[in-house]
Amino acid sequence: MSILFSPITLRSVAMRNRIFVSPMCQYSCQDGLVGIWHLVHLGSRAVGGAGLVMVEATAVSPEGRISPQDTGIWGDAHVDAFLPVTRFLAEQGAVAGIQLAHAGRKASCAVPWQGGKPIPAGSGGWQTLAPSAVPFDVGDPVPKALTADDLDALEVQFRTAARRALAAGFKVVEIHMAHGYLLHEFLSPLANRREDEYGGNLENRLRFPLRIARAVRAEWPDDLPLFVRISATDWVGNGWDIEQSIVLVKELKKLGVDFIDCSSGFVVPNEPVPFGPGFQVPFSARIRAETGIATGSVGCITDPAQAEQIVATGQADAVLLARQFLRDPYWPLHAAKALGVDIPWPNQYLRAK
């Protein structure tokens, strides 16, 4: 009896198993529009048996993109571009999710295979935005500190993005509050130096991310689940940590968030992250135990028995795999075989089962 391959239902949405494709930037768009690459990339993982396929960090505004090649959802053309993708994912039995994001001070960068460095405004880049005018790294362009009007505009952008995600056929929205992007920059004292009601003590640092969660929840239908990805710790002293994460998650739960996707790190350069098999599992386990919310574990999960053990021991309700899904789009089909579970294969591939 496999827990990994048992269905999980959040609000009205049933996932066929607890193996989710973790959001992964493909840096393969023009003007934020997904195309054939995304249809094939995401579609392959749905054919491969994933329970949920989460589209990469998708910008709520053009300046919210990490790179000029990121996906976006700030216009109606983006909705039309996503429709064939979400239709195909559903036809293959996978739930379509989308991560809504703003890259904050880590926006306007070259794609990784072109070095990933900041692109200055005027050379194809743009002025970045952040809670405070503090760059990510020494020598990086200085972001513009957000004004009260900018915060109002961002709330509208996230809310409108959620409306468009629904029109585009998504059944799950995930708000990106991790990895040193805009909302994590509000949470972490390492990036947030504001002296107004959005900075300083924990209650103030939570205020803007919670405002966004409230706005998205108000827009997103009651019968559809809302996920939030957090960085559960910054891995450095005087930063964000698991204790503060638990306070945040309790508030998110009150607002109607259904699932916490537990990652960590990336708000400042050169953090001492202890990468290793399942190194972030303690975060999903502790958040689940102390808040009662459903959690997902991500990070160096590659092995079927390891994934089964994480969910079977109640350390998470689901696992999210990123790089392992790049190595093997059909990982769930192979994992089922390894665990001795009989799951259906696509009819077209039955002769290979």
Q: Among all residues, which ones are annotated catalytic?
A: 181
Task: Classify residue 64 by its DSSP letter.
Answer: G
Q: Looking at beta carbons, which pairs linking 248-256 to residues 24 or more positions away fall under 8 Å?
A: 248/187, 248/206, 248/209, 248/210, 249/287, 249/291, 249/293, 250/291, 251/206, 251/210, 252/210, 252/213, 252/228, 252/293, 253/291, 253/292, 253/293, 255/210, 255/213, 255/214, 255/217, 256/217, 256/226
Q: What are phi and psi of 335, to 5 degrees?
A: -65, -40
Shortest CA distance to 277 belongs to which of 308, 300, 302, 296? 300
Euclidean distance between CA atoms 333 and 336, whole angstroms? 5
How far apart are CB 1 and ligand FMN at their closest, in Å? 25
Per CB under 6 A, 24 contacts ligand FMN: yes
Minimum CB distance to ligand FMN smaller for 10 or for 19: 19
Per CB under 6 A, 229 contacts ligand FMN: yes
Minimum CB distance to ligand FMN smaller for 232 or for 336: 232
Per CB under 6 A, 205 contacts ligand FMN: no
Per CB under 6 A, 321 contacts ligand FMN: yes
Minimum CB distance to ligand FMN smaller for 21 or for 215: 21
Specify whether the CB–CB gap between 332 and 48 falls below 8 A: yes
* Percent helix, percent strand, percent coil in the chain, to nearest 5: 40, 15, 45
- How many Cβ atoms sit within 10 Å of the Cβ of residue 62? 15
Stretch that binds ligand FMN, among 23-31, 204-212, 239-247, 249-257 (CB under 6 A): 23-31
Task: Classify residue 20 by its DSSP letter.
Answer: E
Euclidean distance between CA atoms 148 and 159, whole angstroms? 17
Specify whether the CB–CB gap between 131 and 191 falls below 8 A: yes
How far apart are CB 353 and ligand FMN at their closest, in Å? 26
Residue nearest to ligand FMN (CB): 322
The residue from 300, 312, 339, 341 that contacts ligand FMN (CB under 6 A) is: 300
Stretch that binds ligand FMN, among 16-24, 146-154, 194-202, 333-341 (CB under 6 A): 16-24
x-marked contacts with ligand FMN along 259-298 as a string, rule CB under 6 A: ----x----------------------------------x
How far apart are CB 322 and ligand FMN at their closest, in Å? 3
Minimum CB distance to ligand FMN smaller for 95 or for 301: 301
Per CB under 6 A, 22 contacts ligand FMN: yes
Using only C-alpha atoms, the chain has a radius of gyration, in whole angstroms, of 19
Stretch that binds ligand FMN, among 238-246, 316-324, 331-339, 345-353 (CB under 6 A): 316-324
Stretch that binds ligand FMN, among 34-42, 176-184, 197-205, 247-255 (CB under 6 A): 176-184
The residue from 2, 61, 67, 99 that contacts ligand FMN (CB under 6 A) is: 99
Shortest CA distance to 176 belongs to which of 97, 103, 229? 229
How far apart are CB 220 and ligand FMN at their closest, in Å? 18
How far apart are CB 229 and ligand FMN at their closest, in Å? 5
At 47, the amino acid letter reads V
How far apart are CB 117 and ligand FMN at their closest, in Å? 17
H or E element that contains 217 = helix 202-219
Q: Which residues pair with 323 in a beta bridge?
A: none
The residue from 57, 100, 130, 310 that contacts ligand FMN (CB under 6 A) is: 57
Per CB under 6 A, 157 contacts ligand FMN: no
Per CB under 6 A, 4 contacts ligand FMN: no
Minimum CB distance to ligand FMN smaller for 204 or for 302: 302
**Residues binding ligand FMN (CB under 6 A):** 22-25, 56-57, 99, 176, 178-179, 229, 263, 298-301, 321-324
